A and B are shown apart, each in its own frame.
Chain A
Amino acid sequence: EPEVTQTPSHQVTQMGQEVILRCVPISNHLYFYWYRQILGQKVEFLVSFYNNEISEKSEIFDDQFSVERPDGSNFTLKIRSTKLEDSAMYFCASRLLGTRGTGELFFGEGSRLTVL
């Protein structure tokens, strides 16, 4: 069964360092997302991406964050200068084409980011 894959599964970094989280969405999906979940809290929307551009972003997704689809398969989330409060599980998700992004969302296993 097709799945969303994410790397790394766990990354530990020092505050102020840049981090890149990588995702390979399901191959025929056209909508891509990043969500995050701080330990013990709810899953929060960060950003959605369609047709090689951001379609929506939350207030969490400030100038320190960026997303990119550098080739036909990878979808990356970059955090330029990490802060302690960026420590969380980051989930990539993808969705098959639907009317304006409707349809089921499938999640990767997540990348746990720990900022020291």
Chain B
Amino acid sequence: QKEVEQNSGPLSVPEGAIASLNCTYSDRVSQSFFWYRQYSGKSPELIMSIYSNGDKEDGRFTAQLNKASQYVSLLIRDSQPSDSATYLCAVNKRVNTGFQKLVFGTGTRLLVSP
């Protein structure tokens, strides 16, 4: 089982629609979860972090976390063509040293058509 799993897409939505991106993770003790946006040839850019079960909203973005189901999602409301990018789910994984490292999924490519 992959540590962080995402559907690679592409997920195509029309402008103004809600885009829903999903992610599952395998490490049950993970405590912190992140969504990054990556444009082609660019570095990952942090969009949202979430640490507790439930929803967290920031502008057009809502992150949802369900630790019991080991599931994280990102909703993008009123999608814009500029939102077209690859969205990376990342999970903090505790390692033997006691420190944590960020593990990424393969990303979901989102295409928003005008």
Distance, CA A64 to CA B9, complexed state (A): 35
Return A89 CB to nearest CB of chain B, in Å: 8
Query: Given known contacts A42-B106, A42-B107, A43-B104, is B43 in contact with A110 (CB within 8 Å)?
Result: yes
Q: What 0/1 readout, one digit per residue, does chain B (92-111) give for beta carbons within 8 Å of chain A?
A: 10110111111111110000
Whether, in the assembled complex, A18 has its beta carbon less than 8 Å from a beta carbon of chain B, the answer is no
* Count class of interface residues, chain B: 20 to 34
Which residues of B, 74-114, contact A by the 8 Å Cβ criterion? 88, 90, 92, 94-95, 97-107
Query: Given known contacts A42-B106, A48-B99, A48-B101, is B49 in contact with A107 (CB within 8 Å)?
Result: no
Whether, in the assembled complex, A45 has its beta carbon less than 8 Å from a beta carbon of chain B, the answer is yes
Query: Given known contacts A56-B95, A56-B97, A91-B44, is B34 in contact with A104 (CB within 8 Å)?
Result: yes
Contact at A102–B43, with CB atoms within 8 Å? no
Q: Which single member of A44, A56, A108 contacts B43 (CB below 8 Å)?
A: A108
Most chain A beta-carbon neighbours within 10 Å: one of B43, B94, B102: B43
Whether, in the assembled complex, A50 has its beta carbon less than 8 Å from a beta carbon of chain B, the answer is yes
Distance, CA A102 to CA B30, complexed state (A): 10
Whether, in the assembled complex, A86 has its beta carbon less than 8 Å from a beta carbon of chain B, the answer is no
Chain B residue at minimal CB-CB distance from A48: B101
Whether, in the assembled complex, B42 has its beta carbon less than 8 Å from a beta carbon of chain A, the answer is yes
Whether, in the assembled complex, A106 has its beta carbon less than 8 Å from a beta carbon of chain B, the answer is yes
Q: What 0/1 readout, one digit per residue, does chain B (32-48) give for beta carbons within 8 Å of chain A?
A: 10101010001111100
